[in-house]
Structure 1
Amino acid sequence: MLKRIAVKDIQLGMYICEFCGSWMEHPFWKTKFLLTDEKDLHAIQTSGIKELWIDVSKGADISAGIQGKSEEEVERETEALLLGANKIQGKEKISLEDEIKTAARLCAKTKEAVIEMFRDARMGKAIQVEEARALVDDISNSVMRQPHALISLARLKTADDYTYMHSVAVCALMIALARQLNLDEDIIREAGFAGLLHDIGKVGIPLNVLNKPGKLTDAEFAIVKSHPEVGAKILIESYQVSPLVLDVCLHHHEKVDGTGYPRGLQGDTISLFAKMGAVCDVYDAITSNRPYKKGWSPADSIRKMAEWSKGHFDEAIFQAFVKAVGIYPTGSLVRLESGRLAVVVEQNEGSLLSPRVKVFFSAKNKMPIIQETLDLAKLVGKEKIIGRESPDDWGFKNLDTLWSGIAST
């Protein structure tokens, strides 16, 4: 579990994850290490850094109550705390059904705002930063009330909407992931702001390349790969954003094995927030319909990302992401032990393997059945998910209407 602490509270035995502030304010070339040397402790205390992130599952905590416990005990207690929380910052979580209509209106509103933001940037005009931050606040509040409503709706974008709604989706995913990592509220919103602006550099890509339905040529792909640096240049020269936002814009296509771009960074040379951006960006990209391919189902996407995770993503960040969206994310088609097919409606905070589902089809008889919503967490030993299914294999065209209640357009 990550924790942000003041430099005055740092102790030997803590595992340093990241320093808050500019890399020029501390003397270390690495930002992740177990603090065991008195000289290193003194160097941190006398540097310009005021705060830093520690990982209490890998080292000591400022709370004496945690010290002496095994890593497994700390992880188990942390997970129970995260999964058992029904309130965040004093605000009650509500059901997906109650939030879905509000989230749908917010999706429409933010899409138009992002279209205008990209249009202004393409014309060389400054982004209205305060208006953009207000959008992030609205998205953050929706995710706080119900983490899966807006995230799941944003996935339903059309190929034509992709560039704009992708920014909205990554914003929401970054917020959900940051909350799962138990980050401070101001950092959570800054991570969301980074998600909203992470692809601003795509304004520099010709639309015929950006929306090309076929395979890109090597020259066209080189143009597309320039968008992180184009975006960083725009943010540096034109807008007042934090280093965190700039970092995510520039490095969200880096991979932990060093095969990403634009810098080929690897491992701990990639920041926490850029690693978060990489996971959120890929998940929304592969679950979305694009001009050149149809999106994968949410559950299949999580499975494929797990296969890539060792070289592509930071393992701890990816695991936290799965906890945030679910092993079977909302909208996934699953087969139950009874032979019925169901669509995942909502996650259960107490069990990633037992979401709420809506049954609607018999796989045995290949016939529709009376729709019924089941809470699998209350049916342990009686009913469970035994596998993922492909909507295309079954010819289901209106699957998203089943969980969202919103008719397809």
Structure 2
Amino acid sequence: MLKRIAVADLQVGMFVHEFCGSRRHALWSRRFLLGDELALRRVRESGVLAVWIDTAQGSDTPAAPAVPPPLSALAIEVEARQAQQVCLSARAAVSEMLASVRLGQAVDVGRFEPLFDEIRDSVERHPHALIGLARLKSADDYTYMHSVAVCALMVALARQLDLDEAQVRAAGMAGLLHDLGKAAIPEAILNKPGRLSDAEFAIVRGHPEAGHRILCRDGRIDAAVLDACLHHHEKLDGSGYPHGLAGERIGLLARMCAICDVYDAVTSERVYKHAWDPAEALHRMATWQGHFDDGLFQAFVKAIGIYPVGSLVRLSDGRLARVVEQHPGSLLTPRVRVLAANGAETLLDLGDAATGLRIVRRDPAAGARLSDLRDSLAALYAEP
């Protein structure tokens, strides 16, 4: 039987029937048994993200582990409080870093290792708490908290791709540092509420190269991190910047960062636009042909959910709800807070068949009708 699996799930003893991706790949024409670790490493280093295996001629994937139960409401609140503290310390650290850059001082990336550890640990305990909280940043906080949010998203995506520890760390650091070059942009342009002029847009487009130059002064930074900072605005079809790279010429971390950067940008309040609903953002991004790596985008959706935390959805009984936690075993049955007109909220686990409820559609337009109702996540994370 043929089965499509991620390259990260390949094991010695499996029979590779076909590679998913570019037909120009050097390994495409061969079908072969992965007989040793050397062959397995060659495939994993090839840049291909998924393959078809033939289980009739080789080993199959192992049985899926038991799905852990969703967290209790208390556990969600505890992690939310921890995530809040991470965000507060992260905002201060990133603000200090950008201020140092504006003064022409060198960036000590080593100081960000403990911050990365806090973000990674929070994501691994409960990925959606920190990601959901970071999405609630104000327009004034965007420059600082965007880096924190992209770091958390990069860690979640790296884990979904089953990257090794060194790659997870590199992915997270790329998220933290990817927009460092914006410190070189005048704040009047960076925070301009209206449309940028061509000259102003050209200045903004220079931030990847500016950030790359600044980071290159520190010889300790991983080359893949530097590449992601320089090329996170490249697109698969070659229409991005600064170098118009296309396809596999764009590094893995840069392709990952492109997705995480755009997702957080469009789901955040900005001085010149309102935030998109998370589920609506994924829906729109999926239609942007030639923009993102398809395999990585699919992995990203699995990492944060078809209905990400914060999404407004309509239930089968007609009620409106906001997603507050993903179900560990199903993308379609998250835990939600049902919203009532009087402001009351009811926590429901759609993974529990006893509720008899399901999501029938995303409902981002409902957000405009909830101006008098506090965001359930904001209330959850608010200071006591």
The two structures share one fold, judged by TM-score above 0.5 = yes
Aligned to 1:358: 337
Q: Could you tell me which of 376, 381, 384 is aligned with 1:406?
A: 381
- What is the Cα deviation at residue 31 of structure 1? 9.9
- What is the Cα deviation at residue 381 of structure 1? 8.3
* 1:247 lines up with 2:227 in the alignment: yes
Cα separation, partners in 2 of 1:119 and 1:85, compared to 1, 3 Å:
farther
Take 2:318 and 2:346, find their aligned partners in 1: how far apart are those partners? 14
* 1:378 lines up with 2:349 in the alignment: no
Q: Could you tell me which of 343, 362, 377 is aligned with 1:388?
A: 362
Q: Could you tell me which of 313, 323, 343 is aligned with 2:292?
A: 313
- What is the Cα deviation at residue 98 of structure 1? 2.5
Amino acid at match of 2:114: A
Instruction: Tell me if the contact between 2:137 and 2:269 (Cα under 8 Å) persists in the aligned partners.
Output: yes
Give the alignment's TM-score, normalised by structure 2: 0.85
Amino acid at match of 1:2: V
Take 2:24 and 2:254, find their aligned partners in 1: how far apart are those partners? 14
Deviations 1:187-218 (A, max 9, x none): 11110001100001111111111111110000
Instruction: Tell me if the contact between 1:332 and 1:388 (Cα under 8 Å) persists in the aligned partners.
Output: yes
* 1:339 lines up with 2:318 in the alignment: yes
What SS does the corresponding residue of 1:312 show, helix, strand or coil? coil
What SS does the corresponding residue of 1:231 show, helix, strand or coil? helix
- What is the Cα deviation at residue 397 of structure 1? 4.4
Take 1:12 and 1:357, find their aligned partners in 2: how far apart are those partners? 41
Instruction: Tell me if the contact between 1:14 and 1:34 (Cα under 8 Å) persists in the aligned partners.
Output: no
Take 1:334 and 1:230, find their aligned partners in 2: how far apart are those partners? 41
Take 1:120 and 1:285, find their aligned partners in 2: how far apart are those partners? 24
* 1:282 lines up with 2:262 in the alignment: yes
* 1:175 lines up with 2:150 in the alignment: no
Aligned to 2:306: 327
What SS does the corresponding residue of 1:127 show, helix, strand or coil? coil
What SS does the corresponding residue of 1:120 show, helix, strand or coil? helix
Amino acid at match of 1:155: R
- What is the Cα deviation at residue 86 of structure 1? 4.5
Instruction: Tell me if the contact between 2:18 and 2:28 (Cα under 8 Å) persists in the aligned partners.
Output: yes
Take 2:379 and 2:299, find their aligned partners in 1: how far apart are those partners? 25
Give the alignment's TM-score, normalised by structure 1: 0.80
Aligned to 1:58: 51
Instruction: Tell me if the contact between 1:173 and 1:280 (Cα under 8 Å) persists in the aligned partners.
Output: yes
* 1:219 lines up with 2:199 in the alignment: yes
Take 1:249 and 1:154, find their aligned partners in 2: how far apart are those partners? 20
Cα separation, partners in 2 of 1:335 and 1:34, compared to 1, 3 Å:
same
Take 1:120 and 1:67, find their aligned partners in 2: how far apart are those partners? 58
- What is the Cα deviation at residue 343 of structure 1? 1.0
Aligned to 1:3: 8
Amino acid at match of 1:300: E
Take 1:222 and 1:56, find their aligned partners in 2: how far apart are those partners? 34
Aligned to 2:141: 161
Instruction: Tell me if the contact between 1:4 and 1:51 (Cα under 8 Å) persists in the aligned partners.
Output: no
CA RMSD of aligned residues (A): 3.4
Take 2:336 and 2:44, find their aligned partners in 1: how far apart are those partners? 43
Take 2:243 and 2:260, find their aligned partners in 1: how far apart are those partners? 19
Take 1:127 and 1:5, find their aligned partners in 2: how far apart are those partners? 39
Amino acid at match of 1:331: G
What SS does the corresponding residue of 1:358 show, helix, strand or coil? strand
- What is the Cα deviation at residue 51 of structure 1? 7.9
Q: More displaced, 180-189 or 50-59?
A: 50-59
Q: More displaced, 373-382 or 394-403?
A: 394-403
Instruction: Tell me if the contact between 2:15 and 2:58 (Cα under 8 Å) persists in the aligned partners.
Output: no
Residues 226-237 of structure 1 correspond to what in structure 2 (within 5 A)? Answer: 226-237=206-217
Amino acid at match of 1:117: M
Tell me how many residue pairs correspond in the alignment. Answer: 366
Aligned to 1:114: 94
Amino acid at match of 2:299: A
Take 1:159 and 1:103, find their aligned partners in 2: how far apart are those partners? 20
* 1:185 lines up with 2:160 in the alignment: no
- What is the Cα deviation at residue 3 of structure 1? 2.9
- What is the Cα deviation at residue 246 of structure 1? 0.5
Q: Could you tell me which of 176, 179, 184 is aligned with 1:199?
A: 179
Take 2:290 and 2:113, find their aligned partners in 1: how far apart are those partners? 33
Aligned to 2:27: 34
- What is the Cα deviation at residue 402 of structure 1? 4.9
Take 1:202 and 1:117, find their aligned partners in 2: how far apart are those partners? 12
- What is the Cα deviation at residue 406 of structure 1? 2.8
Instruction: Tell me if the contact between 2:133 and 2:381 (Cα under 8 Å) persists in the aligned partners.
Output: no
- What is the Cα deviation at residue 252 of structure 1? 0.5
What SS does the corresponding residue of 1:307 show, helix, strand or coil? coil
Amino acid at match of 1:154: A
Cα separation, partners in 2 of 1:369 and 1:207, compared to 1, 3 Å:
closer
Residue segments in structure 2 that go unaligned for 5+ positions in a row: 1-5, 32-37
Deviations 1:298-339 (A, max 9, x none): 11111111121x321111101110111111111111111101
Aligned to 1:140: 120
Amino acid at match of 1:383: L
Residue segments in structure 1 that go unaligned for 5+ positions in a row: 18-29, 39-44, 88-93, 362-366
What SS does the corresponding residue of 1:357 show, helix, strand or coil? strand
Deviations 1:30-66 (A, max 9, x none): 995426579xxxxxx8xxx998257584156xxx979
Instruction: Tell me if the contact between 1:401 and 1:407 (Cα under 8 Å) persists in the aligned partners.
Output: no
